[in-house]
Amino acid sequence: MQFFSKKIKPKKSYVYDAYWKFAFERQEVFFKRINKSDFPWTDDSVLHQFKFTNVYRATDRVSQYLIKNIIYTGEQNPVEVLFRILLFKIFNKIETWEMLEEQVGPISYKDFDYYLFDTILSDAKSRGVSIYSGAYIMASAGSVYGYSLKHQNHLKLIEEIINSGLAQRIDKLKNLESLYNKLLTYPSIGPFLAYQYAIDINYSNIVNFSEMDFVKAGPGAKDGIRKCFSDPGAYSEEDIIKMMTEQQREEFGRLNLPFKTLWGRDLQLIDCQNLFCEVDKYLRVVHPEAQSLSNRKRIKQKYKQSFLGEIEYFFPEKWNLNYCNH
């Protein structure tokens, strides 16, 4: 599929090549780490000092936990799989899932008790425990469900999605965009979260869409695009992400960067979208003068060497990668 038919092409900015150089160097860090090379894994002082996500979204710790411990662990009927994904992703925090699991046992929709889950989460909150990840900003949905605490409204949101019959009809959806559009119809789920949730659901076996079907640029990606292109021409942010995905081999070759794919899997639209977000952060330090839409100037999270243990990488079965990474 080619996306270059529009006449007025985007104009690259002077920092454009940083996108590909960052992707290459960050992927080198990924492979050096899993190959047990000595720390530090890079000479790039910015990558060494600050925290960045992996180049491939599915390789990040939270995504790996979702795929291995939640999606492919437990009953595989669509209702149960969708419930587990939504419950995990609403909070997007491993510790919250494990806290719930420790107190209720194996988590399933057939045994779901709203009041029990609310009690556990409310108690944690009262003790000062952070139950949400800081990665996504979740609207409270309080205006829809009327509860005073955010998690109470979100538990009702999950109930509404499951009770609407989405899981039973999900195999009738035609592509990733149709799943995205369906998720958008539920309260408090906006474009960014709808796309992220669609990608997460697509990791499972209840749908089987290509990650090259559809992309939606998030706020961070829009900032990165603004820095990498001085003029978008006739291209939307999504067009530009598609263009980058199509040109990845050519661009790595042009810059003489021997990029290591994910065991043969090229960067997908979701990965190139995320890369724009990460490059925006990187450029705040490397090229602080480069302007973005949000005008953010700092990287919030410093890198701290993790001692959480090695990840045994596991990917959606339909990708046929699990035999490659051992």
Q: What is the pLDDT of residues 215-261, one digit of tens each?
A: 999 999 999 999 999 999 999 999 999 999 999 999 999 999 999 99
Residue 191: helix, strand or coil by DSSP? helix
Q: Are residues 126 and 184 in the same domain?
A: yes
Q: Are residues 224 and 195 in the same domain?
A: no
Q: Are residues 198 and 236 in the same domain?
A: no
Q: Are residues 226 and 304 in the same domain?
A: yes
Angle between helix axes 78-91 and 150-163 (nearest 10 degrees) is: 160
* Nearest residue to 206 (alpha-carbon basis) of 41, 59, 74, 38: 74
At residue 301 the predicted structure's pLDDT band, cuts being 50, 70 and 90, is low
Q: CA 209, CA 213: separation in Å to the nearest integer?
A: 7
Number of Cβ within a 10 Å radius of residue 116 = 13
Share of the chain above pLDDT 70, in %: 94
* Nearest residue to 299 (alpha-carbon basis) of 63, 38, 45, 94: 45
Write the CB contacts of 290 (distance below 8 Å, at least 6 apart in sequence): 13, 15, 227, 283
At residue 139 the predicted structure's pLDDT band, cuts being 50, 70 and 90, is confident
For residues 224 and 282, the answer to whether their CB atoms sit within 8 Å is no
Rounded to 5 degrees, φ, ψ at 166 are -55, -45
What is the model's pLDDT at position 295? 74
Final residue of a structural domain among 202, 237, 262: 202
Top pLDDT among 2 and 276 is at 276
Top pLDDT among 89 and 38 is at 89
Final residue of a structural domain among 181, 202, 223: 202
Q: Are residues 104 and 19 in the same domain?
A: no
Q: Are residues 241 and 306 in the same domain?
A: yes
Q: CA 64, CA 310: separation in Å to the nearest integer?
A: 12
At residue 305 the predicted structure's pLDDT band, cuts being 50, 70 and 90, is low
Residue 1: pLDDT above 50? no
144 part of a folded domain? yes
31 part of a folded domain? yes
Q: CA 227, CA 221: separation in Å to the nearest integer?
A: 10
CA atoms within 13 A on the CB side of 49: 10
Burial class (CB in 10 A: 0-12, 13-18, 19+), 128: exposed
Q: Say which residue the tokens 């090379």 belong to.
A: 37
Domain of residue 267 covers 11-53+214-319
Q: Are residues 195 and 218 in the same domain?
A: no
68 part of a folded domain? no
What is the model's pLDDT at position 294? 76
pTM (predicted TM-score): 0.93
What is the model's pLDDT at position 142? 82
Number of domains, the chain? 2
Residue 102: pLDDT above 70? yes
Least confident of 15-29, 43-57, 128-142, 268-282: 128-142
127 part of a folded domain? yes
Final residue of a structural domain among 179, 202, 225: 202
What is the model's pLDDT at position 233? 95
What is the model's pLDDT at position 251? 98
Residue 313: pLDDT above 70? yes
140 part of a folded domain? yes
Q: Average pLDDT over the chain, rounded to whole?
A: 92
Q: Are residues 240 and 310 in the same domain?
A: yes
Q: Are residues 77 and 108 in the same domain?
A: yes
What is the model's pLDDT at position 13? 97
Residue 165: pLDDT above 90? yes
Q: How far is CA 86 from CA 167, 213, 242, in A?
A: 11, 22, 27
Q: CA 153, CA 164: separation in Å to the nearest integer?
A: 16
67 part of a folded domain? no
Q: Are residues 229 and 284 in the same domain?
A: yes
Token pair belonging to 6: 């529009």
Q: Are residues 192 and 220 in the same domain?
A: no
Q: What is the DSSP letter of 266?
A: P
Q: Are residues 42 and 80 in the same domain?
A: no
Rounded to 5 degrees, φ, ψ at 28 are -60, -40
For residues 85 and 204, the answer to whether their CB atoms sit within 8 Å is yes
239 part of a folded domain? yes
What is the model's pLDDT at position 306? 61
Q: CA 257, CA 74: separation in Å to the nearest integer?
A: 41
1 part of a folded domain? no
What is the model's pLDDT at position 96? 98
